[in-house]
A and B are shown apart, each in its own frame.
Chain A
Amino acid sequence: MYLGLFLFPWMLMYALSTLAMNHRAYFVERYGAGPPPYETEREFVYDGAFPADADLRTISRQILIAAGLDGAHGVTRRKDGAIVITRHDLTTPRRLVYVPSDRRVVIEKMRARAHAFLERFHRRRGYATGYALDTIWAVSVDAVIVAMVFWVLSGVWMWWEMKATRGLGAAAALGGAGLFGLYLLML
């Protein structure tokens, strides 16, 4: 019970985000395919210096810290030399484009859309980002997985302990298992 009370926000998020993803066709029809568009938020000149042998991750980290946006991100270098950082912010994903020739950093933020936010939440992983909070999030996701398996096992055990519900409970369990088995064979 206490595990359920602690983890209910996770379960609610996974349920609502799955609903949104299951009805993606509706959102595609309404907003078009692909992620929401970016819009310019601000820009500044980065006057820091990079180490001579700095790799892309070092550069992106320095720029993000300067912008006050450090956190999980991806980084690539465009053919024209500009460095594009995609900051995987859960509520407001951002794109930072650093142009080395004039040291200008343009920050764009993704337009807010509820279904896209839910989907980002659902797909969020954490172990590989190198940020502590992301790792803790990944551990919490593992805890949800363990809890789900535990709820299944403890639920079956609690049901079996209540003799009055065994008949109807068995019918519900067999009906569900039968339908699931049918899908396994047919889909």
Chain B
Amino acid sequence: MTFSHLNRRLHLYLGLALLPWFFMYGISSVPFAHNQFFEQRDKAKGLPLWTLRSEHSVALPVPEDPHELRRLGAALLEQAGLAGATRTNFGVYRQSPMQINVYSYSFWKSTQLKYFVDQKKLTVEDRRFRWDHFLTGMHARGGFEQDGLLQRSWSVVVDLVCLAIVVWIASGLYMWWGVPGSRRWGLLAIAAGTTSFLVFTMRL
């Protein structure tokens, strides 16, 4: 097998294996790029985004150290009867000195908890499903902050997709150079694209 052959096969099979991710990143960029359109469209429906599911009396101490907030978030999820969620994805942040918010999410569902410290009250709200949120949620998913093998393996695949894009660029350039008849137009396309990109970088 020659290098050229290996290069073509790598380009092809890597593309086929990672095709769902590449397609998803492409399609899910639409609601990001046209956010206002989707927001206005949803607003016209006149439906609330969040629905109250339950309220609980809770009196848990709030740690001063922001790094300890995650542990409080797990405890609040448990108090709300969302113990399973502690094994999936959630984040915690201090909304105000007297309010801690926890958001727990999957590709399909999103729940937010609000802990009002001075009122010793915890509210649980579910977000209405929206296709644009489903897509942007999938697009934005990543990072190694979450626990769990499956969660982290998704982030490993995200890394793999990034590296694959670099490989597609390099292998694509190599394949283009191997077709002498298309070098002139190819050089023109590279020069035009690179120049435009540099102008954006310097002027935006």
Contacts and interface: CB of A to CB of B under 8 A. Distances in A.
Q: Do A and B come from one complex?
A: yes
Interface of A: 1-16, 18-19, 21-25, 71-72, 88-91, 121, 124-125, 127-128, 133-134, 136-138, 140-142, 144-145, 148-149, 151-152, 155-156, 159, 162, 165, 168-169, 172-173, 175-177, 179-180, 183-184, 186-187
A183 B153 CA distance: 10
Contacts, number: 171
Rank and list the top 7 A-B pairs by shortest CB-CB distance, nearest first: A148-B26, A6-B193, A9-B197, A180-B20, A15-B165, A176-B17, A5-B189
Nearest to B30: A145
Given A2-B189, A18-B158, A173-B17, A12 B166 contact: yes
B182 A1 contact: yes
B108 to A, nearest CB: 8
Interface string B92-113: 0000000000000011000000
Interface string B5-41: 0000100111111111111111101101111100000
Nearest to A173: B16
Interface stretch (B71-79, B118-126, B138-146): B138-146
Contact of B200 (A16, A140, A165): A140
B186 A71 contact: no
B203 interface: yes
Contacts of B20: 176-177, 180
B204 A23 contact: no
Nearest to A137: B200
A16 B162 contact: yes
A124 B35 CA distance: 12
Contact of A6 (B190, B202, B204): B190
Given A141-B33, A155-B15, A173-B17, A148 B23 contact: yes
21 contacts: A1-B176, A1-B186, A6-B193, A8-B193, A12-B165, A12-B166, A14-B165, A18-B142, A18-B158, A71-B204, A127-B33, A145-B27, A145-B29, A145-B33, A151-B22, A152-B23, A155-B12, A172-B14, A175-B17, A184-B107, A187-B154
A74 B157 CA distance: 36
A103 to B, nearest CB: 29
A21 to B, nearest CB: 7
Nearest to B169: A8
Given A15-B165, A18-B142, A145-B29, A168 B159 contact: no
Nearest to A11: B165
Contacts of A19: 159, 162-163
Given A8-B193, A16-B162, A169-B13, A72 B33 contact: no
A148 B9 contact: no
